[in-house]
Amino acid sequence: MSGRCDQQRALTCTVKPALYLNMGERPCDAAQSGVCVVDVTLPFGKTADIEEITFQNDYTASVTVRLLRRRPGHEAPAQWCTALRDLSLMDNPHSEGGSQDYYSIHRSQMRAEPDDVASVRLILKQPSSAWLSFSLKNIEMFPHTEPEPEKEVCDWLSDLTLDDHLTQPQDVPDPHTVSSSLQQMWALTEVMQSDQTTASVGRFDVDGCYDVDLISLT
């Protein structure tokens, strides 16, 4: 599975404002139900394969991910399916744990393949009445790219055969002893390089001077 490399850019998509579901008949009477829906849509007509969805939590207890998939070339209308149900973001919805953490949902965690997706719907739930509001921040989606095929070793390299019948010139030292002593030397240099200590010297002054009059408040 190809990992997301840093140069990969997020898909351009529109994150619609969060829609909080309320119970009750008239808007002024409505009680908070603790459920909120956030739609993330791709530009009209485009579909994409999703590798990963990342976001920062803002006091949401759990999230359900639904995908609107539109198979290209097919006549059938786009279909919604549930990719991930009730992923818990906060262990205890009443307390702070996980409330501001960064999360990432990878395609391998989804039960439906997120291919040819036109729109993603995130259903956020926060059952605790302790919080005034809840949402997700910085929602980003990253496209899936096929991993590059393994580079094939050139055919002519694999055609080389080992020639066992080389005659040894008489006055050249045995290649095995030479190579083993070279390897020892190389190992020694590696050890020396890796052994350099990263401990700091511990000096706190600047060239012997540590005259401080004011602590910087910025």
Partner 1 sequence: MRKAQASWEKRVLKSLNSMSSELGVPLARMRPAAEQKEITNKWNEMGTDEPDLSRFRPVYAPKDFLEVLISLQNPNYDSSEAVSSRSHWGLIHSPLNVRDIPQLRRSFSELNLTTGQLGIDDHAHIHPDLFESDYVQIGKKVVEDQDSAAAQQYSRRGCPTGLRADLWALILNSTNQPQDVMHYEQLKAGVIQHDLLVDKLIYKDVKLTASNDDYYFVFEDFLYQVLLCFSRDTAVLEHFKYNSATPPKAYVQGKVDDEECAVVYPPNGVIPFHGFSMYVAPLCYLYNEPSKLYSVFREMYIRFFFRLHSISSSPSGIVSLCLQFERLIQTHLPQLFYHLRQIGAQPLRIAFKWMVRAFSGYLSTDQLLLLWDRILGYDSLEIVAVLAAAVFAFRAENLMEVTSLASAEAVLADLSTLKVIPLIQIFLFATAI
Of 41-49, 105-113, 165-173, 202-210, the segment contacting partner 1 by CB under 8 A is: 202-210
Residue 96 within binding range of partner 1, rule CB under 8 A: yes
Of 1-9, 93-101, 104-112, 142-150, the segment contacting partner 1 by CB under 8 A is: 93-101
Structure token pair of residue 215: 């602590």
CA angle 108, 109, 113 (to 5 degrees): 60
For partner 1, give the closer residue by CB, 167 or 218. Answer: 218
Q: How far apart are CA 88 and CA 73, in angstroms?
A: 36
Q: How far apart are CA 115 and CA 51, in angstroms?
A: 9
Structure token pair of residue 194: 């890796």
Residue 130 within binding range of partner 1, rule CB under 8 A: yes
- Give the nearest distance from C-beta 196 to partner 1 in angstroms: 16
Q: How far apart are CA 167 and CA 75, in angstroms?
A: 73
Residue 217 within binding range of partner 1, rule CB under 8 A: yes
Contact residues toward partner 1 (CB under 8 A) are: 58-59, 91-92, 94-97, 129-134, 200, 202-206, 208-217
